[in-house]
Every structure is written in C-alpha cells, then in structure tokens.
C-alpha cells in the first residue's frame, strides 16, 4: 500500500534550541520537506548549529571523533569531510579537526536544506529569542518568549542541550559566586583579568579541563595549572589513525541474560585481553561496545547504575571520551615540564588569604590529612550537569514545576518513551512534546555525541513528518 500526501494538511513544529541537536532535527525535517510544514527554530544566538561546543573560535578545541565519521546523515558519515574538502580546507577523513568547523558545516547544511524546503512549499524561520514557558493550549502548545511574544505549534521539540555544571560543595569562607571562582568556564570569562603567571586550579581532569588548559595556554597564560579530581585521571588518547573495530567484534552478544555490573566488568576485562592477544587493543573493545551500551544500561538495576557512577564512571569516561593525539601530546609536554600538575583527591574548602589569593584545602585520595594549595583562580571543570531538580533555566523549571518533565532518580537527565516524548509526573508521555539531546543519557547513557544524537534527530524527524501523510 502506498502512502499519499494530503496537500491540504498542515503541520507546525517549534524546535527550542539551535545547537547541534535542534539544528539536526531541523535538518532532517527540511531535507525532505513537504508542503504544509511550518518549522520555527527558537534560538537566541544568531548562528545556528553551534551551541556551546561548536561556537568556540579556538583551533586547539578539536573534535574527539575523526572528521570522516561526522556527517549529519547517519547513512552518509562522510558528509562532513566532503563539505570540508568542498570548502578547500586541507583536512582528511582521519583528522581531528577544530570543533568550529563542525558548527559551520551544520549551519551551512541547514541553510541549504531550508532553501530547498522553501522552494518545495515548506516554511522555515529562525526566531532569535529565549523561551520562558510552554503551555498545552489550543492550538496544542503555546510558547511564551522572553519578550512577551507567543508562538503556537502542533509539536514542540525540546533541544536545549546540557544543563550548566553543578560545582562541588565548599566549606570555608569563599563561595563559587565570589571573585576568583568560576562556576562555568563556558558561560563566563574563565581567563578574564588573569595575570600571565597566575597559578590556577581546575576542579576536574576530564574533557572540560583539557579544553580550559588549551584556552589558558593559547591566551598567553604561563603560570602553573593544577588539576584536581577524585582519581586524578586524564582522558586517554585516540590512535594517530583511529580505526573502526574489526568486523565481528561484538562481544556483548556473549553476555546472555545475566546482566549484573560485576559480570559485565569481568567480561570487558576478558574481551580486552582477547583483543590484545589478537593484535587489537582496548579501543577496539570500547568501540564495539558503543552501539550496545544503551541496551546494557537499560537492563542494569538502579543499584548497579549507582555503583557504576560511584566507582567506575571515571575509568569509563577517560577511556570512552578520548582526546586527539595532538591534544594528548600537548598535555604530556606540560606535565613533563611541571607546568601542569594532576592531583587525585577531593576539594574541601576555599579561604581568602590576606594577600587576596585563594587557599584551597583538599584531601588526597587515600590520605587522612588535608593539604592546602595556594592559587589565584579556581575554575570548575566538572562538566555539564544533568539534574533537572537543580535546573534554574525558566523553561526547564516551569516544565518541571508543571509535572511535564520527570527527572531520573540518579540526576542524569529526564525520562522519555521510545518515541522521545517526555514522561510526565503521572507516568504518561506528553503527546506532541519531544526531547532530543544529552539528557537522554539518563536512559541511554550513550547520548551526548554526534553519532548518537544525529540518529535520534533523524528518527524524530521521520515521526514528525509522518503527520503530513494520510
């Protein structure tokens, strides 16, 4: 039976958020747009497709996936590298290119498909505003913008990205809002008014900290930088020519029905040993686990998930979220020179000294005594937050307060059904409301990178476009 298109049917969709997730949904909606589609993307920034991650101007902030795998269309992974080469840029598929180029690619592709969609009778517009609330009304949803404007839409896609970081609690006289303390390095000037020889403490040693180290050094900072995290682990490097896992390396199929955390950990250690004996390494095993990770995560009990977060997540993060070889080499050079020091321990308190500097009290891992580190600035680099209960954004707070969004018990994100509809406080999916973005981590774990987000964006676009069919 063939599907016909009803030329009289109309569908209005509003996407809130114009970073990668929102732009990707718009791209997939518009690339095969049909008459009757009215798409509004609400995003305060002038440039679409960038968000925080891809708006950085620094060439030192590079992608953590080779360029040949980052096309917007999951069926054409080479789309990004094809675009780069069409611009005359000297990149090849295995290269880890500056992140800003991915933002430029997404914006360019969105502009291209929007023009094609307009010629086909669809409507696309970018409204530069913030959304303060979304109300189920007639038409089904009404968006209230910060300037008082109201927009109506049949379907609303929440693509608001990461929540701001939640800095660790502090004792002592200094708080995160005080001078010299930076809560979020991406929404404020972490290096503003920083003397070139100032000593800096970064709380965290993952990808956020690595980015800030590059930002400081590129800006002329030459003082010592300290990294403090629970285990003092830095991200592992990719191989110089990162390869796909060998065909057939899908060890998760061996797990069967027994799915306890201890069993999985033991199996992963075994697979790594087998991979090394066969001439591969742990990176191949991590890559082979990636498509299976959501399945594994969903089948773990809440108790096992909590144990993973407490004991194993630092090891997972440093091996799963790797850095480009050149970034790793730069970090190793800084460590070797003493310009960068990594400490394993917990931040306890910050006091303001008589000379205006900050005395940071911390406890080394496995030690009973506390130590004091004197620095000029403390920057929170613990990464983005996920706890909806602590979200201060007006839109998220209003939806949470109205019971439309439900947070997961571990504070990792929100709950959705298989169609990416948020589950409300009564356990019912919100019809006509959808979510795509990193807060899917709560249920899928693998939900913060382009390869997964573009699939979610495509699948949601297909479901939405089906409303134009009869």
Any idea what the Cα angle at residue 358 is, between residues 352 and 364, rounded to 5°? 120
Phi first, then psi: give them for residue 314, nearest 5 degrees. Answer: -60, -40
In the structure, how many helices (H) and strands (E) does the chain have?
13, 15
Cis omega before residue 139 (within 30°)? yes
Q: What is the pLDDT of residues 19-37, one digit of tens each?
A: 999 999 999 999 988 889 9
Any idea what the Cα angle at residue 20 is, between residues 129 and 93, rounded to 5°? 150
**Six token digits for residue 98:** 């500056």
Q: Is the pLDDT of residue 245 over 70?
A: no
Q: What is the pLDDT of residues 340-372, one digit of tens each?
A: 999 999 999 999 999 999 999 999 998 888 999
Domains of the chain, earliest start first? 11-164+386-468 (3.50.50.60), 181-236+323-380 (3.50.50.60), 251-320 (no CATH)
Residue 340 neighbours by CB distance under 10 Å? 21
Give Cα 312 to chain centroid, integer Å.
20
213 burial (CB, 10 Å; 0-12 / 13-18 / 19+) is: buried
Q: What is the pLDDT of residues 428-462, one digit of tens each?
A: 998 999 999 999 999 999 988 899 999 999 999 99
Nearest to 279 by CA among 302, 245, 309: 245
CA dihedral for 210, 216, 221, 223, sign (positive or negative):
negative
In whole angstroms, give the CA distance from residue 372 to residue 358: 10
| pTM exceeding 0.85 | yes
Residue ranges with strand state E in 90-216: 123-127, 131-136, 141-145, 150-153, 155-158, 181-182, 200-203
Nearest to 388 by CA among 145, 158, 44: 158
Q: Is the pLDDT of residue 469 over 70?
A: no
Q: Which of 77-91, 183-197, 240-254, 389-403 tops mean pLDDT?
A: 77-91
Q: What is the pLDDT of residue 34?
A: 82
Q: What is the pLDDT of residues 287-308, one digit of tens each?
A: 888 888 898 899 899 999 999 9
Residue 83 neighbours by CB distance under 10 Å? 22
Top-confidence residue, 449 or 253 = 449
Phi first, then psi: give them for residue 38, nearest 5 degrees. Answer: -120, 110
Alpha helices in 237-338 (DSSP H): 261-277, 282-289, 293-299, 302-307, 313-320, 325-337
Yes or no: say if 81 and 91 are a contact pair by the CB < 8 Å rule: yes
């Amino acid at each position: 039976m063939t599907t016909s298109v009803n030329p009289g049917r109309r569908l209005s969709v509003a996407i809130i958020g114009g970073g990668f997730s929102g732009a990707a949904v718009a791209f997939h909606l518009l690339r095969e747009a049909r008459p009757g589609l009215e798409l509004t993307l609400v995003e305060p920034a002038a440039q679409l497709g960038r968000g925080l991650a891809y708006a950085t101007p620094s060439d030192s902030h590079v992608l953590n996936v080779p360029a040949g795998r980052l096309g917007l269309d999951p069926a054409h992974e080479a789309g990004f590298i094809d675009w780069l080469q069409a611009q005359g840029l000297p990149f090849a598929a295995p290269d880890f290119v500056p992140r800003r180029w991915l933002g430029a690619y997404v914006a360019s592709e969105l502009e291209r498909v929007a023009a094609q969609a307009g010629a086909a009778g669809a409507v696309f517009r970018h409204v530069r505003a913030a959304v303060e609330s979304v109300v189920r009304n007639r038409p089904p949803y009404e968006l209230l913008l910060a300037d008082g404007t109201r927009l109506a839409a049949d379907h609303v896609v929440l693509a608001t990205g990461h929540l701001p970081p939640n800095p660790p609690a502090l004792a002592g006289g200094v708080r995160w809002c005080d001078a010299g303390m930076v809560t979020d390095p991406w929404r404020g000037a972490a290096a503003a008014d920083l003397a070139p020889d100032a000593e800096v403490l970064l709380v965290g040693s993952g990808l956020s900290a690595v980015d800030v180290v590059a930002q400081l050094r590129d800006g002329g900072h030459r003082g010592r930088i300290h990294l403090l995290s629970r285990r003092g682990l830095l991200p592992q490097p990719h191989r110089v020519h990162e390869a796909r896992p060998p065909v057939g390396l899908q060890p998760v199929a061996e797990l069967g029905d027994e799915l306890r955390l201890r069993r999985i950990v033991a199996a992963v250690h075994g697979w790594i040993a087998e991979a090394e004996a066969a001439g591969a390494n742990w990176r191949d095993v991590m890559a082979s686990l990636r498509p299976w990770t959501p399945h594994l995560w969903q089948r773990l009990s809440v108790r096992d998930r909590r144990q993973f977060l407490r004991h194993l997540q630092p090891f997972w993060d440093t091996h799963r979220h790797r850095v480009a070889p050149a970034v790793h080499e730069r970090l190793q050079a800084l460590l070797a020179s003493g310009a960068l020091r990594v400490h394993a321990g917990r931040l306890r308190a910050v006091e303001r000294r008589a000379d205006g500097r900050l005395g940071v009290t911390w406890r080394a891992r496995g030690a009973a005594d506390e130590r004091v580190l004197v620095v000029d600035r403390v920057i929170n680099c613990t990464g983005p937050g996920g706890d909806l209960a602590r979200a201060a954004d007006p839109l998220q707070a209003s939806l949470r307060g109205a019971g439309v969004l439900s947070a997961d018990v571990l504070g990792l994100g929100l709950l959705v059904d298989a169609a990416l509809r948020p589950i409300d406080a009564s356990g019912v999916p919100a019809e006509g409301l959808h979510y795509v973005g990193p807060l899917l981590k709560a249920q899928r774990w693998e939900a913060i990178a382009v390869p997964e987000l573009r699939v979610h964006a495509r699948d949601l676009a297909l479901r939405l476009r089906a409303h134009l069919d009869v």
